[in-house]
Amino acid sequence: MRKKFKVVLFFGGLSAEHEVSCRSAAAVYKNLKKNKFEIASIYINKAGRWTIVPSPLQSLNDLNQNHFYSFLPWAEESSPQLPQGDIYFPVLHGPFGEDGTIQGFLEMADVPFVGAGVLGSAAGMDKGFAKILFQAQGLPVAKHKVFLEQNWEEKKVEILTDITNSFKPPFFVKPANMGSSVGITKVKNNESIEAAITDAFRYDRKILVEEAILGREFECSVLGNDHPEASLPGEIIPYREFYDYSDKYIDGKTDFIIPAKIPPALVSEIQRLSVEAFEAAECSGMARVDFFLQSGTQNLFVNEINTIPGFTEISMYPKLWEVSGLPFPRLLERLIELGLERHQKKKRKVEHEDTVY
């Protein structure tokens, strides 16, 4: 019998999106065809320590009963070998997973992995930096300003004046490196700016103040390496004021319209911008690109790019591919192929250079 292809999943992680990652990994596990793949699962706890588990289908409580180890090769305790795989799949959302950190670890080990490399992951995670790349590519982004914590501490009054001169409420205040709407406030009057800024600085030392684009919200899935393709877009209709943390994970009352009911010209425009955003951020494998469509002007704005989008059974990324003709199990196989392809191409380059010198 042919040896099965071994996929190693990383899930959990240090970020505020720990639980979402566990749910994403469970869906990935279920949708990987067991006749083709052997799966090893590595759970990373909230302290960043790891353990090998039978699968991501266990409860959080059971997962945390294990003995945990440090990733450091020189850690004092003897840690078991990480399982060897034919490919590694970080199913981690947010900082310490989606931001290039684990990707760097896997690059160092010279093993193939699913998704964006170090640069694309880091650029996509930082909302301020991603916007610089989008603007350089000529993509439309909302008017925004970036502020650093050290400047805020030193020049509160100047910064508050700058913000009130530049933005009229409502506007958004958000940490640069986060996800799941954590630390995000829609500021409706100038009296609440300071509280919004203080809250955003709890999560990051860099924050964005951003004009509110009132209208509709769309998301589009991108898949590929050198010739990325975009899925049909989906629409999000938040239940609350905006698509906040409770709307995402607690109430679950958000409406998802998959695919979005929009004219073909808007579909093509979203797809074109999604591919350009993917390329601008130097992504590979996968990403979900999120948009605002401003009511009145009907102008589209790229909001953000997520290099490890939600992967639960009801998440936009796999759902959008499903309605675009690529079922979840096939999508995972495609992502694995793309990860292998990227690693092969990178390797060939290095070998070529070796022969030159």
Ligand X SMILES: Nc1ncnc2c1ncn2[C@@H]1O[C@H](COP(=O)(O)OP(=O)(O)O)[C@@H](O)[C@H]1O
Contact between 92 and ligand X per CB under 6 A: no
Please identify which residue in the block is written with the tokens 């589009």.
Answer: 220
- CA 269, distance to chain mean position in Å, is 22
Q: How far apart are CA 36 and CA 186, in angstroms?
A: 47
Q: How far apart are CA 142 and CA 124, in angstroms?
A: 16
Contact between 290 and ligand X per CB under 6 A: yes
Contact stretch for ligand X (CB under 6 A) within 5-13, 193-201, 204-212, 261-269: 204-212
Those residues whose C-beta lies under 8 Å from the C-beta of residue 174, and which sit 6 or more positions away, are: 127, 183, 184, 185, 200, 207, 208, 210
Please identify which residue in the block is written with the tokens 């490196």.
Answer: 177
Closest CA to 236 of 273, 181, 281, 178: 181
**CB-nearest residue to ligand X:** 243
Closest distance of CB 47 from ligand X, Å = 23
Closest distance of CB 15 from ligand X, Å = 11
Contact between 219 and ligand X per CB under 6 A: no
Q: How far apart are CA 176 and CA 210, in angstroms?
A: 11
Contact between 242 and ligand X per CB under 6 A: yes
Contact between 121 and ligand X per CB under 6 A: no
Give the number of C-alpha atoms closer than 13 A to the C-alpha of residue 314, restricted to the C-beta side: 11
Indicate the burial class of 71 (C-beta count within 10 angstroms; 0-12, 13-18, 19 or more): middle
Contact stretch for ligand X (CB under 6 A) within 68-76, 108-116, 208-216, 263-271: 208-216
Q: Which residue, 210 or 322, is less far from ligand X as judged by CB?
A: 210
Q: How far apart are CA 210 and CA 20, in angstroms?
A: 26
**Residue from 217, 235, 276, 333 in contact with ligand X (CB under 6 A):** 217
**Residue from 178, 196, 258, 293 in contact with ligand X (CB under 6 A):** 178
Contact stretch for ligand X (CB under 6 A) within 64-72, 172-180, 256-264, 339-347: 172-180
Cα angle value 106/107/112 (rounded, 5°): 70
Contact between 142 and ligand X per CB under 6 A: yes
| Segment 221 to 240, residues that bind ligand X, using CB under 6 A | 238
**Residue from 99, 210, 235, 333 in contact with ligand X (CB under 6 A):** 210
Give the number of C-alpha atoms closer than 13 A to the C-alpha of residue 348, restricted to the C-beta side: 6
CA 239 vs CA 137, 248, 253, 335: distances in Å? 33, 9, 6, 32
- Whether residue 298 contacts residue 107, with contact meaning beta carbons closer than 8 Å, is answered with no
Contact between 172 and ligand X per CB under 6 A: yes
Contact between 179 and ligand X per CB under 6 A: yes
Q: Which residue, 100 or 179, is less far from ligand X as judged by CB?
A: 179
- Whether residue 33 contacts residue 66, with contact meaning beta carbons closer than 8 Å, is answered with no
Closest distance of CB 171 from ligand X, Å = 7
| Segment 300 to 339, residues that bind ligand X, using CB under 6 A | 303-304
Closest distance of CB 173 from ligand X, Å = 9
Contact stretch for ligand X (CB under 6 A) within 76-84, 118-126, 212-220, 259-267: 212-220
Contact between 159 and ligand X per CB under 6 A: no
- List interacting residues with ligand X (CB under 6 A): 142, 172, 174, 178-181, 184, 210-213, 217, 238, 242-243, 290, 292, 303-304
